[in-house]
Amino acid sequence: MLGLLKIFLRNRKAAAGLLIVLFYVTVALAAPIITSHDPNKRVSRPHQPPGVEYVMGTTRMGRDVYTQLVWGTRTSLMVGILAGLIVTLIGTVVGLTAAYYGGATDEALNFATNVVLVLPQLPLLLVLAAFLGQVGPLAIAVIIGLTSWAWGARVTRAQAMTLKNREFIQASQLIGEPVWRMILVEMLPNLLSIIGFNFIGSVIFTIITQATLEFLGLGDPLSVSWGTMLYNAKNASAITVGAWWEMVAPCAAIVLIGVGLSLLNFGVDEISNPRLRTLGAIGKAMKLQKKLDRERLLETEA
Amino acid sequence: MRFVLRRLAFYLVAFLVAATFNFLIPRLMPGNPADIMLAQAQGTIPPEAREALMETFGFINEPLHLQYLKYLASIFTWDFGLSVKYYPTPVIDLLTRALPWTVFLTGTATLLAYSLGTLFGIRAAWRRGGRFDSLVSPFALALQSIPAVVVALTALFVFAVSLNWLPTGYAYDPALEPGLDGAFLSSTLLHALMPVLSLGLVLVGGYLVTMRNNMIGQLGEDYVHLAEAKGLSDARVRYNYAARNALLPSITAFAISLGSVFGGSLITEVVFNYPGLGNLLYTGVIARDFPLIQGQLLIMTLAMLVANFAVDLAYVALDPRLRRA
């Protein structure tokens, strides 16, 4: 376990990503400690610019942007992780089942996956949210989870298919291992990097999609999250009246967690696929070689 | 040919599945859409229209399978009923008015983002770890995780509100009469600049990263080394050998990204108040205009399927194996 962590931290991208994500998790967990009042409490006059008392300024409603941002981190992370878990669970089960059983099961599951993949997702989510009325963060997490599993299922299936023909799987088949053992003990560990990739990608996607849905006014306006902050800022015409801080704070929070999670994901990708690494050492060696070549060329010409 | 026919059959079934969802959603949801809509419309619809509205949703006193068949027939005759928000304009009129703007916006932005992303990806992979790569690739990674809504809002704030260089919204100056004259066209281009560029910016990162990764995979292959050993020019090895093969998986990734293209265009249209399908859907959703929403979803699905089919055709053109199969 410790060895794995060491490999992980040696990759600069993964380490930076992990640091950002840990920071967010800490903020979300420590929300009651690092804020002093309810996020929806009116503490000041509307649209106070950032200053000593309110580090990130106040909203049109006179609410403290910093407190809202901290509590919003809690909501957004929770929704992201919940939806990520649902997506990963469905995607992995569908992908593994299709790959393992093959034949008609594979045909049916693969067909379902492809259909979900070609449906326009955001419009569909918008319509679902519209029919359900203004929905809370948990409902949003479930809806996103249930509609976004297709990509993961496809990737998991493709990877599991390549595993199926490896010798150790065929050996376990010949020994007569039960199906559950073959899937859980032989195949699953070899799919972990792709499952992790799928999970982190889904968390990013969910956080972005949740913020988007809420920005469009389809969330519960009373819940505190980055999306409702954007929605309130839009309704208060924060941009046109020059209250940029009301808009910038949630935007920056979304961008930074997105960058952190992507860095983590690309780190994972590079660790499992060394070809993708941009190693400084290789670059330097190549440059040196070129220089030597050029000098040699000049020498022979002279 | 068989490949193309198989894909066509698949899209037909996918469309039927989407249409069935569209049929089921209002029936599975709590409450009766016609009543919600009448309450929302607050008097713009005469009460007599309630019966007609109910009929629009197929809420007629008939068994479910007959309702379903009637609904399917209405789809294939492009009869989506009347809009509630813009009563009594037929939904299909609103859709055909909005469609060209969305096609223009997404088409230009995707074309721009895909060509730039692919070219830059090829370059970044060619000198992996070089100056261009270490400048462009981290930037692309960051771009990939920035949501469309943030890009659009930032662009709006900086270029339209703060600097006042570009108009804040809509597709052309409302004072102008639409027509094929210079003033109208230049106004259209000026209004399209920000939406196209911000949507393009959202998309370009993903295309760049995919192309770079595919290209790196190809550059390790033996046939590339052979081409180099033969003494072919760098450009020839890069574009005619490696890039051509790296393009195939990148086109699959492109097809998968179409969903985010439509999602991104929806957000961009809402933020810039651009009169396309996304903005229309948003208006419909906020007004709980169910006939409009349902027609929208079908049109958007259809657009998505047509775009996917176009990608399939491109795939056939690029991959000779499929032409023979």
Burial B69-104 (b: 16+ CB within 10 A, else e): eebeeebeeeebbbbbbbeeebbbebbeebbebbeb
Report the gap between the CA of B149 and the closest CA in chain A (Å): 7
> Do A120 and B153 make contact, defined as CB atoms within 8 angstroms?
no
> Do A216 and B216 make contact, defined as CB atoms within 8 angstroms?
no
Looking at residue B164, its amino acid is N
Q: Which of residues 75-114 of A touch B (CB under 8 A)?
A: 111, 114
Q: Is the dihedral of CA B164, B165, B171, B175 positive or negative?
A: positive
With 80 as the cut, is the pLDDT of residue B232 above it? yes
pLDDT digits (tens, 9 = 90+) for B21-45: 888 877 776 666 666 666 666 656 6
Biggest CA–CA distance in chain B, Å, is: 81
Dist CA B202 CA B209 (whole Å): 13
Q: Which of residues 168-197 of A touch B (CB under 8 A)?
A: none
Q: Can you tell me whether residue B272 is helix, strand or coil?
A: coil
Report the DSSP beta bridge partners of residue B82.
B90
B9, exposed or middle or buried, with CB in 10 Å at 0-12, 13-18, 19+?
exposed
Which long-range contacts (C-beta less than 8 Å, at least 24 apart) are formed by B13-18?
Answer: B13/A111, B13/A115, B14/A114, B14/A115, B14/A118, B14/A119, B14/B301, B14/B305, B15/B301, B15/B302, B15/B305, B17/A115, B17/A119, B18/A119, B18/B297, B18/B298, B18/B301
pLDDT class of B249 with cuts at 50, 70, 90: confident
Report the DSSP beta bridge partners of residue A64.
A58
| Per-residue H/E/C for chain A | CHHHHHHHHHCHHHHHHHHHHHHHHHHHHCHHHHCCCCCCCECCCCCCCCCCCCCCCECCCCEEHHHHHHHHHHHHHHHHHHHHHHHHHHHHHHHHHHHHHCHHHHHHHHHHHHHHHHCCHHHHHHHHHHHHCCECHHHHHHHHHHHCCHHHHHHHHHHHHHHHCCHHHHHHHHHCCCHHHHHHHHHHHHHHHHHHHHHHHHHHHHHHHHHHHHHCCCECCCCCCHHHHHHHHHHCCCCCCCCHHHHHHHHHHHHHHHHHHHHHHHHHHHHHCHHHCCCHHHHHHHHHHHHHHHHHHHHHHC
Dist CA A18 CA A27 (whole Å): 14
Report the gap between the CA of A154 and the closest CA in chain B (Å): 11
Dist CA A123 CA B308 (whole Å): 17
For residues B241-264, give the mean pLDDT.
83
Q: In chain B, whose CA is at the least distance from the CA of A117?
A: B256
Dist CA A202 CA A264 (whole Å): 13
Which of B51-55, B66-70, B313-317 is predicted with the least confidence, judged by mean pLDDT? B51-55
Mean pLDDT per 10-residue run, chain A (302 residues)?
71 84 88 76 72 71 79 90 94 90 87 85 82 80 89 88 83 84 82 86 90 85 85 78 80 88 81 61 65 78 67
Burial B184-206 (b: 16+ CB within 10 A, else e): eeebbeebbebbbbbbbbbbbbb
> Which residue among A121, A127, A251 sits closest to B293, beta carbon to beta carbon?
A127
Residues in chain A within 8 Å Cβ distance of B144? 262
Residues in chain B within 8 Å Cβ distance of A286? 129
Burial A241-253 (b: 16+ CB within 10 A, else e): eebbbbbbbbbeb
Interface test with B, best of A21, A119, A254 (most B CBs within 10 A): A119
With 70 as the cut, is the pLDDT of residue B196 above it? yes
How far is CA B193 from each of CA B120, B147, B189, rounded to the nearest angstrom?
A: 22, 19, 6
Angle at B251 between CA B246 and CA B253, to 5 degrees: 100
Q: Can you tell me whether residue B144 is helix, strand or coil?
A: helix
With 60 as the cut, is the pLDDT of residue B202 above it? yes
Phi, psi of B172 (to 5 degrees): -160, 165
Interface test with A, best of B40, B149, B292 (most A CBs within 10 A): B149
CA nearest to B7, candidates B255, B305, B297, B302? B305
Q: Which of residues 204-233 of A touch B (CB under 8 A)?
A: 204, 208, 211-212, 215-218, 230
With 70 as the cut, is the pLDDT of residue B301 above it? yes
Query: CB B251: neighbour CB atoms within 10 A?
Result: 18
Q: In chain A, whose CA is at the least distance from the CA of B277?
A: A123
Dist CA A54 CA A67 (whole Å): 9
Assess contact for A57 and A50: CB atoms under 8 A. Answer: yes
For residues B199-226, give the mean pLDDT.
88
Q: Is the interface score ipTM higher than 0.85?
A: no
CA nearest to B71, candidates B3, B21, B122, B1? B21
Mean pLDDT of chain B: 81
Q: What pLDDT shows up at residue A80? A: 92
Q: At what angle do helices B2-28 and B64-76 cross, to 10 degrees?
A: 130
With 70 as the cut, is the pLDDT of residue B59 above it? no
CA nearest to A28, candidates A76, A96, A65? A76
Q: What pLDDT shows up at residue A125? A: 85
Interface test with B, best of A24, A131, A143, A268 (most B CBs within 10 A): A131
Which of A87-96, A208-217, B138-147, B210-219 is predicted with the least confidence, judged by mean pLDDT? B138-147
CA nearest to B213, candidates B239, B240, B249, B244? B249
Q: What pLDDT shows up at residue A83? A: 93
Q: What pLDDT shows up at residue A285? A: 66
pLDDT class of B54 with cuts at 50, 70, 90: low
With 80 as the cut, is the pLDDT of residue B302 above it? yes
Assess contact for A141 and B280: CB atoms under 8 A. Answer: no
Dist CA A247 CA A234 (whole Å): 8
Q: Does A241 touch chain B (CB under 8 A)?
A: no
Which of A230-239, B12-21, B275-284 is predicted with the least confidence, judged by mean pLDDT? A230-239
Report the gap between the CA of A178 and the closest CA in chain B (Å): 36
Q: In chain B, whose CA is at the least distance from the CA of A200?
A: B145
B234, exposed or middle or buried, with CB in 10 Å at 0-12, 13-18, 19+?
exposed
Q: In chain A, whose CA is at the least distance from the CA of B158?
A: A239
